[in-house]
Amino acid sequence: MASRVIPVEPFDLVIFGGTGDLARRKILPALYRRFVAGQFGADTRLIGAARTAMDSAAWRDLIAEALDEFTTGAGDGATREAFLAMLSYVTLDARGEEGWTALSGQMRDDRIRAFYFSVAPALFGDLAERLHLHGLIDETARIVVEKPFGHDLDSARALNRTLAQHFCEHQIYRIDHYLGKETVQNLMAIRFGNVLFEPLWNSQYVDHIQITVAETVGIGGRAEYYNHAGAMRDMVQNHLMQLLCLIAMEPPARFAPDPVRDEKLKVIRALDPVAPGDVVRGQYGGDGTQPDFRTQAGHGDSTTESFIALKAQISNWRWAGTPFYLRTGKRLRARTSEIAVVFKDAPHSIFGAEAGRHRNILTIRLQPNEGIELGVTIKEPGPGGMRLIDVPLDMTFAEALGPEEADFPDAYERLIMDVIRGNQTLFMRGDEVEAAWAWTDPIIAVWQAEQEPPLPYDTGSAGPEEALMLMHRDGRRWREIKP
Ligand code: NAD
């Protein structure tokens, strides 16, 4: 089975912040891989625009280095040269006049034009304003904005208002790269493409749901940003919330941007406020070789959390009574992201108490080894009576589809191509982002009022002990964090 690549229409893409970390590590490598796959032709312009003074040749060298580092083995020498030939650069100040006329000169009228705002959010408004002043916004124009989208509800609203002055909602692509992951989309295929799961997908059959996004790295080079944000703003308000929405939402009438986003929004609005006792915050300590959070953050008294675990409840007919436990943190035991749908026990065991307790668990693994696994109970083979064991029905895509099909595009590849295709299904709508902040703000407000420091936890652990208690007290337990 060879992958089908449907070429997109010709486009000009401006990457504001083209010399930055995200552009070098993600955006340009993703574009290169799509070019290698044949998704767009050499008649495309990829224009870097940033404050750093350099010419196009220097930017090409910078990006060539990035391709060497992040796209090992992709494409041959000629393809690489053809890609680099598409790149040009404009030295430009988002807050000044420099560079804008030169940028205008590079844009073609008969192309889709996309503008990637890969700069600090404080510059989004300036960019939108200058794009407008220089007449660069035509009907095809679209912008991609990166996280963080606001810092709280008020700032997200202000940002939405600023962008709305020059762009319609259908032109704004708020990126959450988790939605570009193959498995996350497969979650929708599994739920809405099969009859098997849907009758069980409710509080009558699902005991609880766990969403874990665990990282082994600390805050590293992002210390200043992270110390302001913390795990709640950096991860829960966006990535974990999006995963929760996809698990919990009602079937949309069509797999199209607004039907999908309407259903996600309903989930966020049905979330109950979280009681302070249902949240555990943690902060990692040092481990002899690596410094603790506060040292890395450069604030000896930082009360920012690098770990959070919480219990969320959705008040609607489908989910009332089924808790959603969310947890994310840095410097944990392993780098792993998964969603586990834990089904209830069979109503009565005909095999007696000695057969033990067995449960079906549907695990959606986002990393590593993207895939989906359904734990089912079977008889242990052999003559020794009726002993039950749990075995996984493994839908790891590499095995089911063969290595070529399972060589997934990176989330950024899919999402950038969706921007050119004009498909917003996997991007967050303005009202969704605001609703997510409206849910997280009161949780953060309690911490700010109390000024309680987060609980310490060891590097390489599963977070503070209290996070385990969050589930133990409900007679449940977290799944192990393992590679
Ligand atoms: P960076 O600091 O590495 O790069 C910033 C870029 O903005 C540089 O190219 C710089 O020249 C340019 N710039 C700064 N001031 C400018 C001005 N006045 N006019 C024009 N250009 C200007 O930042 P980054 O890590 O690439 O992040 C870019 C955006 O993406 C940020 O909003 C960040 O929050 C977001 N983001 C980054 C990552 C990541 O992994 N790096 C992940 C998620 C989101």
| Ligand 1 centroid – CA 25 distance (Å) | 12
Residue minimizing CA distance to atom 15 of ligand 1: 51
Q: Which atom of ligand 1 is nearest to the CA of 94?
A: 19
| Ligand 1 centroid – CA 4 distance (Å) | 33
Question: Ligand 1 pocket, 90 CB below 6 A?
Answer: no
Question: Which of 22, 70, 237 gets mutated to test ligand 1 (max ligand atoms within 8 A of its CB)?
Answer: 22
| Ligand 1 centroid – CA 21 distance (Å) | 7
| Ligand 1 centroid – CA 444 distance (Å) | 26
Q: Are 141 and 113 a contacting pair, CB within 8 Å? A: yes
Structure tokens at 376: 């089912």
Residue minimizing CA distance to atom 39 of ligand 1: 22
Q: Where in the chain is the domain with CATH 3.30.360.10?
A: 179-408+429-472
Q: Are 425 and 16 a contacting pair, CB within 8 Å? A: no
CATH of domain 11-146: 3.40.50.720
Among residues 169, 159, 112, 136, the alpha carbon closest in space to that of 49 is found at 136
Question: Ligand 1 pocket, 17 CB below 6 A?
Answer: yes
Among residues 330, 88, 372, 49, the alpha carbon closest in space to that of 215 is found at 330
In this prediction, residue 409 carries a pLDDT of: 75
Structure tokens at 450: 């109390």
Neighbours of 460 (CB within 10 A): 14
Q: Which atom of ligand 1 is nearest to the CA of 92?
A: 20
pTM of the model: 0.94
In this prediction, residue 1 carries a pLDDT of: 45
Question: Ligand 1 pocket, 147 CB below 6 A?
Answer: yes
Alpha helices in 134-240 (DSSP H): 153-164, 182-193, 223-231
Residue minimizing CA distance to atom 42 of ligand 1: 22
Question: Ligand 1 pocket, 20 CB below 6 A?
Answer: yes
In this prediction, residue 273 carries a pLDDT of: 98
Question: Ligand 1 pocket, 91 CB below 6 A?
Answer: no
Which residue numbers in the chain have pLDDT < 50? 1-2
Question: Ligand 1 pocket, 423 CB below 6 A?
Answer: no
CATH of domain 179-408+429-472: 3.30.360.10
Question: Ligand 1 pocket, 22 CB below 6 A?
Answer: yes
Q: Where in the chain is the domain with CATH 3.40.50.720?
A: 11-146
111, exposed or middle or buried, with CB in 10 Å at 0-12, 13-18, 19+? Answer: middle
Three-state SS for 260-313 is HHHHHHHHHHHECCCCHHHEEEEEECCCCCCCCHHHHHCCCCCCCCCEEEEEEC
Coil, strand or helix: which one is 23? helix
- State how far the Cα of 1 lies from the Cα of 419, in Å rounded to an integer: 26
Neighbours of 188 (CB within 10 A): 18
The amino acid present at 8, given as its one-letter code, is V
Question: Ligand 1 pocket, 120 CB below 6 A?
Answer: yes
In this prediction, residue 401 carries a pLDDT of: 60
In this prediction, residue 396 carries a pLDDT of: 65
In this prediction, residue 398 carries a pLDDT of: 56
Residues recognised as catalytic: 239
| Ligand 1 centroid – CA 95 distance (Å) | 14
In this prediction, residue 352 carries a pLDDT of: 81
DSSP 26: I
| Ligand 1 centroid – CA 116 distance (Å) | 11
